[in-house]
Amino acid sequence: MADSSRAAPGGARTAGPRRATKAPRTKPAEVRRAELMAAAERLFLSQGVEATTVAQITRAAGVAKGSFYLQFTTRDELLSALRRRFLDDYLEELDAVVGEVPEDHHAARLAVWTAVTLSVFLDGAAQRGLLFAAPGDYAAPTPASPGGGNGAVERLTALLEAGARAGTWRLPAARATAVFLFHGLLGLLDDRAGVDREALEEAAMALVERLVLASD
Protein backbone atom coordinates (compact mmCIF):
# COMPACT_ATOMS: atom_id res chain seq x y z
CA MET A 1 0.00 0.00 0.00
CA ALA A 2 2.56 2.53 0.95
CA ASP A 3 4.84 3.84 -1.62
CA SER A 4 7.94 3.13 0.30
CA SER A 5 7.07 1.01 3.25
CA ARG A 6 6.65 -2.29 1.60
CA ALA A 7 8.25 -5.18 3.30
CA ALA A 8 11.03 -6.96 1.58
CA PRO A 9 9.92 -10.54 1.18
CA GLY A 10 12.44 -13.25 1.38
CA GLY A 11 13.09 -16.60 -0.13
CA ALA A 12 12.36 -19.27 2.46
CA ARG A 13 11.99 -22.79 1.42
CA THR A 14 9.02 -24.91 2.16
CA ALA A 15 10.69 -27.94 3.58
CA GLY A 16 12.59 -30.71 1.86
CA PRO A 17 15.96 -31.42 3.42
CA ARG A 18 18.20 -31.97 0.50
CA ARG A 19 16.91 -31.91 -3.01
CA ALA A 20 19.38 -34.45 -4.24
CA THR A 21 17.78 -35.35 -7.52
CA LYS A 22 15.86 -32.61 -9.28
CA ALA A 23 12.65 -31.50 -7.65
CA PRO A 24 12.56 -28.20 -9.46
CA ARG A 25 11.02 -25.60 -7.21
CA THR A 26 9.33 -24.31 -10.26
CA LYS A 27 6.71 -26.67 -11.57
CA PRO A 28 4.52 -26.52 -14.63
CA ALA A 29 1.31 -24.68 -13.94
CA GLU A 30 -0.65 -27.83 -14.62
CA VAL A 31 1.13 -29.68 -11.90
CA ARG A 32 0.88 -26.93 -9.32
CA ARG A 33 -2.77 -26.58 -10.07
CA ALA A 34 -3.33 -30.28 -9.69
CA GLU A 35 -1.43 -30.35 -6.42
CA LEU A 36 -3.48 -27.53 -5.04
CA MET A 37 -6.68 -29.18 -6.12
CA ALA A 38 -5.62 -32.41 -4.53
CA ALA A 39 -4.71 -30.71 -1.29
CA ALA A 40 -7.97 -28.81 -1.28
CA GLU A 41 -9.96 -31.93 -1.96
CA ARG A 42 -8.38 -33.66 0.96
CA LEU A 43 -9.06 -30.77 3.30
CA PHE A 44 -12.58 -30.23 2.08
CA LEU A 45 -13.19 -33.86 2.80
CA SER A 46 -11.92 -33.85 6.30
CA GLN A 47 -13.07 -30.43 7.45
CA GLY A 48 -15.75 -29.34 5.10
CA VAL A 49 -15.54 -26.76 2.38
CA GLU A 50 -16.45 -23.76 4.45
CA ALA A 51 -14.02 -24.53 7.20
CA THR A 52 -11.07 -24.80 4.86
CA THR A 53 -8.96 -21.72 4.28
CA VAL A 54 -6.65 -20.87 1.47
CA ALA A 55 -3.80 -20.82 3.92
CA GLN A 56 -4.49 -24.39 4.90
CA ILE A 57 -4.65 -25.46 1.31
CA THR A 58 -1.34 -23.91 0.40
CA ARG A 59 0.27 -25.25 3.52
CA ALA A 60 -0.96 -28.70 2.64
CA ALA A 61 0.27 -28.30 -0.89
CA GLY A 62 3.62 -27.09 0.29
CA VAL A 63 3.52 -23.72 -1.42
CA ALA A 64 3.25 -20.14 -0.33
CA LYS A 65 -0.08 -18.49 -0.04
CA GLY A 66 0.57 -16.29 -3.02
CA SER A 67 1.14 -19.28 -5.22
CA PHE A 68 -2.49 -20.19 -4.84
CA TYR A 69 -3.48 -17.05 -6.65
CA LEU A 70 -1.14 -17.88 -9.46
CA GLN A 71 -3.46 -20.76 -10.30
CA PHE A 72 -6.86 -19.56 -9.18
CA THR A 73 -8.15 -16.05 -9.14
CA THR A 74 -10.38 -16.83 -6.23
CA ARG A 75 -11.08 -19.43 -3.62
CA ASP A 76 -14.38 -19.97 -5.33
CA GLU A 77 -12.71 -20.64 -8.62
CA LEU A 78 -10.99 -23.60 -7.06
CA LEU A 79 -14.35 -24.92 -5.99
CA SER A 80 -15.72 -24.59 -9.49
CA ALA A 81 -12.66 -26.25 -10.92
CA LEU A 82 -13.06 -29.14 -8.54
CA ARG A 83 -16.72 -29.49 -9.40
CA ARG A 84 -16.13 -29.27 -13.08
CA ARG A 85 -13.36 -31.79 -13.03
CA PHE A 86 -15.38 -34.28 -11.06
CA LEU A 87 -18.38 -33.90 -13.32
CA ASP A 88 -16.34 -34.08 -16.48
CA ASP A 89 -14.64 -37.25 -15.37
CA TYR A 90 -17.92 -38.78 -14.38
CA LEU A 91 -19.69 -37.94 -17.61
CA GLU A 92 -16.76 -39.01 -19.66
CA GLU A 93 -16.71 -42.38 -18.04
CA LEU A 94 -20.46 -42.62 -18.34
CA ASP A 95 -20.31 -41.97 -22.05
CA ALA A 96 -17.42 -44.29 -22.61
CA VAL A 97 -18.83 -47.24 -20.75
CA VAL A 98 -22.44 -46.84 -21.77
CA GLY A 99 -21.28 -46.30 -25.33
CA GLU A 100 -19.88 -49.79 -25.43
CA VAL A 101 -23.27 -51.36 -24.95
CA PRO A 102 -25.26 -51.81 -28.16
CA GLU A 103 -27.80 -49.08 -28.57
CA ASP A 104 -30.80 -51.36 -28.39
CA HIS A 105 -29.82 -53.16 -25.23
CA HIS A 106 -31.74 -50.74 -23.09
CA ALA A 107 -31.78 -52.77 -19.95
CA ALA A 108 -28.09 -53.39 -20.19
CA ARG A 109 -27.47 -49.72 -20.75
CA LEU A 110 -29.46 -48.88 -17.67
CA ALA A 111 -27.51 -51.40 -15.65
CA VAL A 112 -24.24 -49.96 -16.86
CA TRP A 113 -25.37 -46.41 -16.19
CA THR A 114 -26.21 -47.43 -12.67
CA ALA A 115 -23.00 -49.29 -12.10
CA VAL A 116 -20.84 -46.45 -13.31
CA THR A 117 -22.73 -43.87 -11.30
CA LEU A 118 -22.53 -45.97 -8.22
CA SER A 119 -18.85 -46.64 -8.64
CA VAL A 120 -17.90 -43.06 -9.39
CA PHE A 121 -19.82 -41.65 -6.48
CA LEU A 122 -18.61 -44.37 -4.22
CA ASP A 123 -14.99 -43.60 -4.92
CA GLY A 124 -15.53 -39.90 -5.02
CA ALA A 125 -18.14 -40.18 -2.36
CA ALA A 126 -16.90 -37.14 -0.61
CA GLN A 127 -17.01 -34.88 -3.61
CA ARG A 128 -20.65 -35.55 -3.81
CA GLY A 129 -21.48 -33.79 -0.61
CA LEU A 130 -18.70 -31.30 -0.97
CA LEU A 131 -19.42 -30.18 -4.41
CA PHE A 132 -23.15 -30.47 -4.62
CA ALA A 133 -24.23 -29.09 -1.34
CA ALA A 134 -26.66 -26.47 -2.54
CA PRO A 135 -30.09 -27.67 -3.50
CA GLY A 136 -30.54 -27.46 -7.19
CA ASP A 137 -26.98 -28.44 -7.90
CA TYR A 138 -28.27 -31.56 -9.57
CA ALA A 139 -31.13 -29.78 -11.19
CA ALA A 140 -31.89 -29.62 -14.83
CA PRO A 141 -30.78 -26.70 -16.91
CA THR A 142 -33.63 -24.25 -16.71
CA PRO A 143 -34.43 -21.48 -19.12
CA ALA A 144 -33.14 -19.18 -16.43
CA SER A 145 -29.82 -20.95 -16.00
CA PRO A 146 -29.27 -23.01 -19.09
CA GLY A 147 -25.84 -23.98 -17.90
CA GLY A 148 -27.32 -25.78 -14.93
CA GLY A 149 -27.81 -29.47 -14.69
CA ASN A 150 -25.11 -31.99 -14.45
CA GLY A 151 -25.64 -34.04 -17.52
CA ALA A 152 -26.14 -37.29 -15.69
CA VAL A 153 -29.86 -36.89 -15.28
CA GLU A 154 -30.16 -35.77 -18.87
CA ARG A 155 -28.35 -38.84 -20.12
CA LEU A 156 -30.45 -41.08 -17.96
CA THR A 157 -33.64 -39.44 -19.16
CA ALA A 158 -32.67 -40.06 -22.75
CA LEU A 159 -31.83 -43.64 -21.94
CA LEU A 160 -35.17 -44.19 -20.25
CA GLU A 161 -37.05 -42.63 -23.12
CA ALA A 162 -35.28 -44.80 -25.62
CA GLY A 163 -36.19 -47.91 -23.66
CA ALA A 164 -39.76 -46.75 -23.43
CA ARG A 165 -39.97 -46.16 -27.14
CA ALA A 166 -38.56 -49.59 -27.75
CA GLY A 167 -41.07 -51.11 -25.38
CA THR A 168 -38.44 -52.42 -23.00
CA TRP A 169 -40.33 -50.73 -20.21
CA ARG A 170 -43.26 -48.46 -19.74
CA LEU A 171 -42.67 -45.10 -18.07
CA PRO A 172 -45.17 -42.32 -17.74
CA ALA A 173 -42.58 -39.70 -16.87
CA ALA A 174 -39.04 -40.37 -17.94
CA ARG A 175 -37.53 -37.21 -16.56
CA ALA A 176 -39.13 -37.58 -13.16
CA THR A 177 -38.06 -41.19 -13.03
CA ALA A 178 -34.53 -40.26 -13.89
CA VAL A 179 -34.38 -37.64 -11.21
CA PHE A 180 -35.92 -39.93 -8.64
CA LEU A 181 -33.56 -42.68 -9.54
CA PHE A 182 -30.45 -40.55 -9.49
CA HIS A 183 -31.19 -39.05 -6.11
CA GLY A 184 -32.31 -42.34 -4.69
CA LEU A 185 -28.98 -43.78 -5.68
CA LEU A 186 -27.01 -40.95 -4.12
CA GLY A 187 -29.08 -41.29 -0.97
CA LEU A 188 -28.13 -44.90 -0.78
CA LEU A 189 -24.50 -43.90 -0.92
CA ASP A 190 -24.94 -41.35 1.80
CA ASP A 191 -26.59 -43.86 4.00
CA ARG A 192 -24.36 -46.82 3.64
CA ALA A 193 -23.57 -47.51 7.23
CA GLY A 194 -21.44 -50.56 7.44
CA VAL A 195 -22.79 -51.88 4.18
CA ASP A 196 -20.14 -53.25 1.94
CA ARG A 197 -19.79 -52.27 -1.65
CA GLU A 198 -21.05 -55.54 -3.01
CA ALA A 199 -24.24 -55.45 -1.03
CA LEU A 200 -24.78 -51.84 -1.85
CA GLU A 201 -24.46 -52.42 -5.56
CA GLU A 202 -26.77 -55.38 -5.42
CA ALA A 203 -29.42 -53.50 -3.50
CA ALA A 204 -29.16 -50.50 -5.77
CA MET A 205 -29.47 -52.60 -8.87
CA ALA A 206 -32.51 -54.33 -7.51
CA LEU A 207 -34.19 -51.05 -6.70
CA VAL A 208 -33.44 -49.59 -10.11
CA GLU A 209 -34.90 -52.63 -11.78
CA ARG A 210 -37.98 -52.51 -9.65
CA LEU A 211 -38.48 -48.87 -10.42
CA VAL A 212 -37.97 -49.02 -14.16
CA LEU A 213 -38.99 -52.50 -15.10
CA ALA A 214 -42.03 -52.66 -12.88
CA SER A 215 -44.72 -54.44 -14.84
CA ASP A 216 -47.33 -52.00 -13.71
Residues that bind DNA (CB under 7 A): 1-2, 5-14, 24-27, 29, 32, 51, 53-55, 63-70, 73-76
Question: Residue 66 touches which of a second copy, DNA, none (CB < 5 to 8 A by kind)?
Answer: DNA
Burial classification of residue 173, based on how many CB atoms lie within 10 Å of its CB (0-12 exposed, 13-18 middle, 19 or more buried): exposed
When binding is defined by CB under 8 A, the residue of 103, 136, 165, 197 that contacts a second copy is 136
When binding is defined by CB under 8 A, the residue of 31, 70, 96, 173 that contacts a second copy is 173
Min dist CB 170 to a second copy, Å, is: 10
User: For residues 55 and 166, which CB has a smaller minimum distance to DNA in the complex?
Assistant: 55
Min dist CB 116 to DNA, Å, is: 34
Min dist CB 20 to a second copy, Å, is: 27
User: For residues 26 and 215, which CB has a smaller minimum distance to DNA in the complex?
Assistant: 26
Asked whether position 191 contacts a second copy by CB under 8 A, the answer is: yes
When binding is defined by CB under 8 A, the residue of 134, 146, 167, 198 that contacts a second copy is 134
Min dist CB 180 to a second copy, Å, is: 4
Asked whether position 172 contacts a second copy by CB under 8 A, the answer is: yes
Contact 113, 155 (CB under 8 A): yes
Instruction: Name which of residues 25 to 84 contact a second copy (CB under 8 A).
Output: 47-53, 75-76, 79
CA angle 144, 140, 125 (to 5 degrees): 130
Question: Residue 65 touches which of DNA, a second copy, none (CB < 5 to 8 A by kind)?
Answer: DNA
Contact 171, 212 (CB under 8 A): yes
Min dist CB 95 to a second copy, Å, is: 22
Residue 112 CA to residue 42 CA, distance in Å, equals 29
Residue 42 CA to residue 46 CA, distance in Å, equals 6
